[in-house]
Amino acid sequence: MGISSLAGSLLCIKLNQDSPQLEKLTSKMEAAFPAPIPAALPSLTTREAITDTLQRIVLAFDTNDKTLFESSFVTDAVFDLDGHVLNGLDEICNQSFDIVSKLDTTHFISSLRLNYVEGASTASMTASALSQHYRQNTGKIPGATNFTCGSLYHLDVVRGFKVSKLQFNVVEFALTRRNRKRIKRAGFLAQKYQGFGPHTLMHHSVPLLPAALRASVATAIAATSPAMPRRIGLRQQDYLAG
């Protein structure tokens, strides 16, 4: 069964989390993609090989391929996640890849621009990105809790086609209606925030909440994110300002 046929079949089934049909189709969908995904592709030009570093990163997140992810970075790389800085590949994997790769995600890259002079040993790139996140194995469940993030990426690349620094700045952060209702409960907020890790920057959703909830939610976020108490504290007044 081809991928398009699988997609059509999915539309004809009333899906739920325990659906045997869903499990069967999911396994077939996974089998439709080759594994492992090669880190090096043949016949790429230098410019194509440089831009492929970013494609490998986002594809690695979406397919939970750590080998592919690590192939994109130097060992002392810096990962700046909207102000939360991770230093070195081990820390990047522990605090970013190992968490996000367990979710059901899709990352879309657009408006990519490459600054590279032929023969140079370094290059830089900028791109726009849209990423969708669902809890593990819930991406195909209608109405499942999810969040969508719009970001701007900046990458520094060195010889060997590896990223030395990746910085992304969050521009948009949207939560589902269902999630906005459930976030009112402090216990759920703490569980969700810790589950996704500090780098997901749940505090960007606070301005979307009713003014009456902002103080308690901002306090809960600060308590569940010891890695960023200063950053949260500095912005908390903005949350409470209305």
Residues 71 and 164 in one domain: yes
Residue 27 pLDDT greater than 50, yes or no: no
What pLDDT, on a 0 to 100 scale, did the predictor assign at position 170? 84
| Arithmetic mean of pLDDT over the chain | 72
71 with 53: CB under 8 angstroms? no
Residues 82 and 156 in one domain: yes
What pLDDT, on a 0 to 100 scale, did the predictor assign at position 222? 54
156 with 165: CB under 8 angstroms? yes
What pLDDT, on a 0 to 100 scale, did the predictor assign at position 200? 40
Of 79-93, 109-123, 215-229, the range with the lowest mean pLDDT is 215-229
From 128, 144, 175, give the residue that closes a domain. 175
Q: Percentage of the chain with pLDDT > 90?
A: 42
Residues 64 and 98 in one domain: yes
What pLDDT, on a 0 to 100 scale, did the predictor assign at position 226? 46
pLDDT tens readout for residues 119-160: 999 999 999 999 998 888 888 988 887 888 899 999 999 999
What pLDDT, on a 0 to 100 scale, did the predictor assign at position 191? 44
Number of domains in the chain: 3
* 3-state percent helix, strand, coil for the chain, nearest multiple of 5: 45, 25, 30
Residues 137 and 57 in one domain: yes
The answer to the question of residue 67 being in a domain is yes
Q: Give the structural domain span for 19.
A: 1-33
What pLDDT, on a 0 to 100 scale, did the predictor assign at position 66? 96
Q: Following DSSP, what letter does each residue of 131-167 receive, concatenated?
A: EEEE-TT-TTSTT--EEEEEEEEEEEEETTTEEEEEE
